[in-house]
Structure 1
Amino acid sequence: MIKKLTRLLKRWLPLPVYPYKSYMIRKQCIFIHIPKNAGTSVLKAFGYRGYRLHAKWFDYNESNPYLFERYHKFAIVRAPLARLYSAYNYVIKGGNQSEGDRALQQQVLSNARTFTEFVDKILTPEFVLFQPLFQPQSYYIFDSQYQCKVDTILRYESLNHDWRKLCILKGWTMELPWLNKGASTLPEALSPQQLEKIQCLYKVDYELLGYRFNE
């Protein structure tokens, strides 16, 4: 009885219960914020001033499957190598200066002085699996059967164009500010072995998101 009542309340009285936010209820959308993919700019466009949340598709579905089924779901993806380098730069600067980000900064800087050393010494399958900043993007928007769980994928490389198309589709009038734009151009050449390692670790992203490895 209680479970049934809870389902009805979620259906008829949608509330911004974790991980939903008030702007999602207001705009009837779900933005899945993949780290280092211009998500802060999207939050700014929606007028959201709270903390950044990197919940995956199943977090929203488990919290309120009714809203998850009915709201328009979208995410931004990015070329995996460029995103990896952007995440690395974010980490070595201390991230958002939280205790966890500073600990990760110390872990990286104490073992690697450059991006190439980071790839050689720190970037392992275990590191990628357990560090949200470095997890494959597909983990956020694909299920275990490799089915995409969002309605619209925007690409970082053509974000202004893709954002305008989404706004036309949804009848939104928000401009997209460009915030926290991190470096994505590699300052140093990677060896064939390092490139192969990155390609292997992020193979699922290259395949599911449609990026070529030289991008």
Structure 2
Amino acid sequence: MFGIKTAMKNTARGYANIYPYRRYMCKHNCIFIHIPKAAGTSVLHALSGTKKHIQRDHCSAFNFISADKYRFDRSFKFAFVREPIDRLQSVHRYLLSGGNGTNNKMLSSEIQQSYSDFDKFVMNYLDEMRLHTEVLFRPQFSFLCNERYESLVDFIGKYETINADFDFIRDRLNLKTSLPLSNVSKVESNNVVSTATIKRVKELYAKDFELYEY
């Protein structure tokens, strides 16, 4: 009974932790679309005001609209994107490091055993089907756009200019915290990428390159 009353009180205050909306979103009247491997964990820590573990929900704008369109329309909606090749390399390093150790454990193991080389991973593993069935590989536009490729968010920052772009977010939401460095891969990067791999990534993520001007 106590739990129900507490939940009702929190809901009345607008701070309920109801999926996919989180307390920090209700508190700041914002929606953060967390695209994997685009410094999202750092942004989450700044929004929540803590460096402790925080739930990472890789939901699309459509997920938020479906859950509560009224709240979606009245919230400040934003996201960060990243250059697609760099982002995919970060995803690959993340999986080589073991991923999150839970729901992508099998995927991480497969990449470690058979596709530890980035070129091989792109050319022999990644395809259109996997692009849309594994959240880590999803094109960034699919989190942010409708079926006509129109953006559903108010502001899109870039990983490459994250400090300046987050300053805008911080001022807009009147945040008191700075942007910490979080969830960095422990596997070192091999920046040598073949021409064929670059071409393949540009084909797979063509809309990301186009829409976000990379």
Shorter-chain TM-score: which interval? 0.7 to 0.9
Distance in 1 (CA, whole Å) between partners of 2:12 and 2:71 is: 10
1:189-204 alignment to 2 at 5 Å? 189-204=192-207
- 2:4 is matched with none
- 1:162 is matched with 165
SS at match of 2:114: coil
* Aligned length, in residue pairs: 200
1:1-215 alignment to 2 at 5 Å? 14=14, 15-47=16-48, 49-98=53-102, 100-182=103-185, 187-211=190-214
**Pairwise CA distance, 1:13:** 6.5
Aligned partners of 1:86 and 1:184 also within 8 Å: no
Q: Deviations over 1:118-168 (max 9, x none)?
A: 112111111111111011011101111111011011111111111112222
Stretch of structure 1 that moved more, 124-133 or 174-183: 174-183
The alignment yields a C-alpha RMSD, in angstroms, of 2.1
* AA partner of residue 98 (structure 2): G
**Pairwise CA distance, 1:185:** 8.6
Q: Deviations over 1:71-100 (max 9, x none)?
A: 0000011000000000000011111111x3
Distance in 2 (CA, whole Å) between partners of 1:137 and 1:21 is: 21
Q: Percent identity?
A: 33
SS at match of 1:206: helix
**Pairwise CA distance, 1:172:** 2.3
Structure 1: stretches of 5+ with no match in the other structure: 1-10
Aligned partners of 2:20 and 2:59 also within 8 Å: yes
**Pairwise CA distance, 1:112:** 1.9
Name the TM-score, length of structure 1 as normaliser: 0.86
* AA partner of residue 87 (structure 1): V
